Structure 1
Amino acid sequence: MNSMWVTLVVLYALFVLTFCSLQRQFLYFPQSASDVYGEMNTRFVVDGVPLSGWVLNQGQPKALIYYGGNAESIEANIPFFKAVIPNYTVYLIPYRGYGNNVGSPTETALYRDAVEIFQSVKGKHDSVSLMGRSLGSGIATYVAANRQVDKLILVTPFDSIENVAKDIYWMFPVSWMIKDKYRSLDRVKEIKAQTYIFIAEEDRVIPRARTDRLIAEFGEQLVEVVVITGAGHNTVSQFPAYVSGLKRVLD
C-alpha cells in the first residue's frame, strides 16, 4: 500500500515538473508561413526583433488589427477579410516565433509587440479597432485596456488562460505553476472601447463558463454578445451568422 502511494506521489511530482518546464509548448503552437496567400508586405521592429506580416486593403481611414489563435496560420484569413471588410485596412501580423518571425512567444513579449505595433498603426489611420480570437482575445484586451481603440471584437474569448488550465488540470496547483496567465478578466474595467463578443455554441476548447465569466465583468462598454448556433471553436468563421455579425459590427 505504501509503495502505491509513493508511486502516485512520484507520478504527481513528475507531471508538475514536466508541466512547469514544457508549459509554453502546451500553449503555443507556431505555424510556418504559407506563400499561398502572397508574400508578406509589411514589417515592424520591436526591441530589435523584426515582425513581418500582411496588410490588406491599404489606404482605408479605418484600421483593424487581428490577433489569432495559438495554432492559427494568420494568413489563412486573408481571403475572408478581403471579402468581408474591404472598408478597413487589416493588419495580420504573426506573433514572434510564428510565421517567418524569429523569437519565442511569451505573454509579456506578445503584449509588448502588440502595443508597439498598435502605436505604429495608429498614426496612419483615423481609428483603430482590434479583433482577437481565442488566445488573441487575451492580447486584444490588454491593448484595449492600455490604449484608446475604437471597437474591440472578441471571438471565443476566455476570462483567463489560468482558469481554462485550472478547469483541465484541477488536481494540480495551476496558479502556482503557470507562467502565461492572460487574465483578461482583470482588465475589463480599464477597457473603454465598444466591445462585441462572438461565442461558438459548440466550443469544446474554451468552456462556456470561462466566456460567461468574462462577459459578466463588462458594463456598458459591452454592446453585443452573439452566439453562433452550431459553430465549433475552429469553425465559427465558416458560419453565415458570424460573417453577417462581423459586417454589422464593422459597418
Structure 2
Amino acid sequence: MTLGTAVARVLVVVVAVAAVVGIALWAGQRRLIYLPDTSPPPPAAEVLPGARDVRLTTEDGLELGAWFVPATGPTGPGTGFTVLLAPGNGGNRLDRAPLAAALSLAGFTTLLVDYRGYGGNPGRPTEDGLALDARAARNHLVEIENVPPDRLLYLGESLGTGVATGLAAAYPPAGLLLRSPFVDLPSVARHHYPFLPTVLLWDRFPVAATVARLDVPVTVVFGTADTIVPPAQSERVADAAPHLLERVVLPGVGHNDPPMFGRPIVEALIRLAAAARS
C-alpha cells in the first residue's frame, strides 16, 4: 500500500465518521434544544396557597396542565395585571413557583405554563407546538379567566423569549419582558456548536426579527455572566425593539442564577405594568 493510498483511506474514514456524527446530531437536534422535566408536579395548592390547577386546550387537541396563581391581597404595584410566563427549555412549572409567589406578593396574577412534553403533559416540544401551547394559555386567560388583553403581560425566559415574542406578534400584550433573549436559535447554536451546519435547524425562534415588528413596550433583562445566551445577543434584541422601555443589565449574573427568578424580574415587571397603565 502506498502512502497516498493510506492517506486516502484515512480521509475516507474520517469523512464517514463525521457524516455519521452529523446525521445523528441532525436527527436528534431537538434533544439538544428541549430538556424537559417530564414528571407531573404536585397539585398547585400544595405548593402555592390559593393557586389552582387549570387545563389548557391547544388547537391540535392536547390538554396541558398549568397553574393559575392569583395575587395575594387586594393591593400591590402589580394589581390588575396578569403575567403569562413562557418558561425556558428546562425543568417544569414547579421550578417557577418561587417567582410566581414573589409576583403574587407584588399584586400580579400569574399563569405558570408547561409546554407539551413538560410537567407530565402529552406531546413532544417543537417550535410550532410551543406556539400553539402559548396561544392556548392566552386564550384561557382571556376567555376563561376574563383577563382584559390590555392588562396582560408576557414574560419569556430564555427559549421562552421566542415563544413570547411570537405570541406578542399575533396577540399584542400590554407589555413584554424578555429575560435572557437571543437573536435567534441558529445564533445560539453557532455559539455552542460551531461545527454544526445551523442552516439545517428545524426550529428557528427569530426573536430579534420578531421584536423589531412589535408595537408594545418591551423590557429586556440579562446578566453579564451568562454563558448560555451570550449577553451580546440580548443587547441586540434590546437594540431591535422599537419601543424599548428598559434594558436591565445584571452585572456578574449568570443565566440561571437566583436573581433571574427573583427581585430584578419582579421589579422590572412592576415598572412595565406602570408604563402600561399610563
Same topology, TM > 0.5: yes
Task: State the 1:188 CA deviation.
Answer: 1.8
TM (norm. structure 2) is: 0.82
Answer whether contact 1:54 1:75 (CA < 8 A) is retained. no
Task: State the 1:234 CA deviation.
Answer: 0.6
Equivalent residue number for residue 98 of structure 1: 118
* Structure 1 residue 12 corresponds to structure 2 residue 18: yes
Q: Which runs of 5+ in 1 are unaligned?
A: none
Answer whether contact 1:37 1:76 (CA < 8 A) is retained. no
Equivalent positions of 1:103-122 (< 5 A) are 103-122=123-142
Answer whether contact 1:146 1:190 (CA < 8 A) is retained. no
Give the percent of matched residue pairs that are identical in Structure 1 and Structure 2.
27
Answer whether contact 1:196 1:223 (CA < 8 A) is retained. yes
Task: State the 1:243 CA deviation.
Answer: 4.5
Equivalent positions of 1:177-196 (< 5 A) are 177-196=200-219
Moved more, 201-210 or 183-192: 183-192
Equivalent positions of 1:58-207 (< 5 A) are 61-86=80-105, 87-123=107-143, 124-126=146-148, 127-175=151-199, 177-207=200-230
Between the aligned partners of 1:215 and 1:238, the Cα distance in structure 2 is 20
Shift of the 223–202 alpha-carbon distance from structure 1 to 2, 3 Å rule, reads same
Between the aligned partners of 1:248 and 1:213, the Cα distance in structure 2 is 22
Answer whether contact 1:67 1:133 (CA < 8 A) is retained. yes
Secondary structure in structure 2 of the residue aligned to 1:193: coil
Between the aligned partners of 1:250 and 1:120, the Cα distance in structure 2 is 21
Q: Which has the larger radius of gyration?
A: 2
Answer whether contact 2:223 2:251 (CA < 8 A) is retained. yes
Task: State the 1:11 CA deviation.
Answer: 2.2
Q: Which amino acid aligns with 2:62?
A: V
Equivalent residue number for residue 42 of structure 1: 54
Task: State the 1:20 CA deviation.
Answer: 1.4
TM (norm. structure 1) is: 0.90
Shift of the 238–172 alpha-carbon distance from structure 1 to 2, 3 Å rule, reads closer
Answer whether contact 2:96 2:261 (CA < 8 A) is retained. no
Task: State the 1:238 CA deviation.
Answer: 5.7
Moved more, 151-160 or 61-70: 61-70
Task: Please give the root-mean-square deviation of Cα atoms over the aligned residues, in Å.
Answer: 2.1
Shift of the 52–40 alpha-carbon distance from structure 1 to 2, 3 Å rule, reads farther
Answer whether contact 2:102 2:266 (CA < 8 A) is retained. no
